[in-house]
Amino acid sequence: MNQQLYDEAVRSELLSKQLISTLLESVDYGSISFINWSIEVLSVIKTRLDRGDKIIDEVSGEKYTAPSFEKFVRKNFSSYIFSQVYAEDHKKEKVYFNLERHGNGEYNLIMSETTHNKTYRWISSLSERFSLVEMIATGIVYLKDNKNDSYSPFLSENGKYCQYDKTNGIIRELS
């Protein structure tokens, strides 16, 4: 995300106002890149404190210890971020993301507030084993194998992806 701020977290004894405010602002963004960057930076600081480095927060003036930094992370960041920085690997919290259209052919992964995200919308059952479904975020049609719960893009006879036109009830080849 910001290499200069990351390098500061890795090497500096003083965590600047800019680094602290960037970390705290990242809480307001649901983007996976902001969340992952925050987790990485907080984990680096935690590791440095665990090995005995002296680190001071320029904003609060606090000289962090491992326990005081843990309190800072718990107080200021989501339970997901806290769990990724402090939990053992097998106990890390799982988080879900939604795809959100971000422009022409680009999508952002946005952290979801619920674990009950619908990724696909049912279109039609072709047989007991196969169904046609639409990926909600992209509108692309997939063939779902109900037996092994797998999805494959539904391709036209020309080898192109297709979208479902809900209004007319037809599947259209993308150009």
Residue type, 74: R
Query: What pLDDT does residue 175 have?
Result: 81
Tokens of 13: 């004894």
Q: Tell me the average pLDDT across 39-68.
A: 92
Q: Tell me the average pLDDT across 147-152.
A: 89
d(Cα 67, Cα 73) in Å, to the nearest integer?
10
Q: Which residues lie closer than 8 Å to 104 by C-beta, 6 or more apart?
A: none
Instruction: Name the band, by pLDDT with cuts 50, 70 and 90, for residue 109.
Output: low
Query: What pLDDT does residue 65 have?
Result: 94
CA-wise closest residue to 57 among 74, 47, 68: 68
Most confident of the following: 13-27, 47-61, 81-95: 47-61
Q: Tell me the average pLDDT across 137-161.
A: 90
Instruction: Name the band, by pLDDT with cuts 50, 70 and 90, for residue 93.
Output: low
Please say whether the beta carbons of 9 and 18 come within 8 A: no
Asked if pLDDT for residue 165 goes beyond 90, the answer is: no
CA-wise closest residue to 29 among 69, 81, 71: 81
